[in-house]
Amino acid sequence: EEALASYGRALELAPGYADAFNNRGNALRDLRRYEDASADFGCVLELAPDYEYAAGAMAGLKLQCCDWRERDHDSTRIIAAVRAGKRSVAPFTFLAISDSARDQLLCARICCRDRFPAAPAPLWAGTRYRHDRIRLAYVSSDLHEHATAHLMAGLFERHDRTRFETTAVSMGPDQSSAMRSRLTAAFERFVDARQKSDREIAGLLRELEIDIAVDLKGYTQDGRTGIFALRPAPLQVNYLGYPGTMAAEYI
């Protein structure tokens, strides 16, 4: 709410300030005021037709409102922009715009290169580990009372501990719940990393000599793709949380 007031004041002072419309649109989206957010992104596009990710944001917000009136027009424009290599839409939103695997790959590749480029000096640089058991880490913000946890809890519990050493890295809330207790018990090591940066978490994975790091978020809310861009593990996998390609050379 404080952000809305600040952006509103900025727009009073500079009515043509596209960045303020964009930022206010993001704040309104976080507050689930989707129609108002969509209107702000419409203003962004009027001021700057190629503003990064604004077209996709507006189209996604219209879908949230069940506003189908310009869906075909918006989809055609966004798909053309993706094929032209423009930063027009976030990969998760694009899943609801196009079911073309080729176009989804292009969209994810554009976003990955823009926001999560591979680190020039990866933390893991080819070292061969000789562990008695494969060290497996699951990285997620959803290790609490969440759909992902309900889908995955049984899998975590069924790992063969004679062959796998399992670690959970949680960036989500530490809720006191039966599911949180169940998940904590399912792993040999459960790390609460809410306060850690991407680099700190990547450093921890490298320090633990994790063999396989599984990202359960991908390009979804609270995802931490930056961890994997630092390449802390020999094998890095995207699973379940984001049902599409990451288009990342490190995944």
Nearest 5°: the CA angle 81, 91, 227 is: 130
pLDDT per residue as tens digits for the range 183-234? 999 999 999 999 999 999 999 999 999 999 999 999 999 999 999 999 999 9
Of residues 217, 215, 223, the one with CA closest to residue 241: 217
- Give me the mean pLDDT over the 98-123 stretch: 98
**E strand or H helix at 58:** helix 54-64
Determine the pLDDT at residue 148. Answer: 96
Distance in Å from the first CA to the final CA of the chain: 37
Of residues 196, 139, 137, 141, the one with CA closest to residue 167: 137
Q: Length of the chain, please?
A: 251
Q: Rounded to the nearest 5°, which phi and psi values hold at 121? A: -125, 85
Determine the pLDDT at residue 237. Answer: 98
State what percent of residues in the chain have pLDDT above 70. Answer: 100
174 confidence band (pLDDT: 50, 70, 90): confident
**E strand or H helix at 164:** strand 164-170
* In the predicted structure, residue 26 carries a pLDDT above the cut 90: yes
Give the Å distances, CA to CA, from 193 to 97, 134, 178, 196, 216.
34, 22, 20, 5, 15
36 confidence band (pLDDT: 50, 70, 90): very high
Q: How far apart are CA 228 and CA 226, in angstroms?
A: 5
Exposed, middle or buried, 30 (CB in 10 Å: 0-12/13-18/19+)?
A: exposed
Of residues 139, 91, 141, the one with CA closest to residue 115: 91
- Give me the mean pLDDT over the 28-49 stretch: 97
Q: How far apart are CA 9 and CA 172, in angstroms?
A: 33
Determine the pLDDT at residue 21. Answer: 98
Rg (CA), the chain: 20
Q: How far apart are CA 5 and CA 7, in angstroms?
A: 6
Strand partners, 80: none
The set of residues, in sequence order, having a beta carbon less than 8 Å from that of 178 and lying 6+ positions away, is none
Determine the pLDDT at residue 175. Answer: 83
Of residues 204, 216, 213, 209, the one with CA closest to residue 236: 213
- Give me the mean pLDDT over the 72-87 stretch: 97
| DSSP-assigned letter for residue 160 | -
Determine the pLDDT at residue 115. Answer: 97
State the chain's mean pLDDT as an integer.
Answer: 97
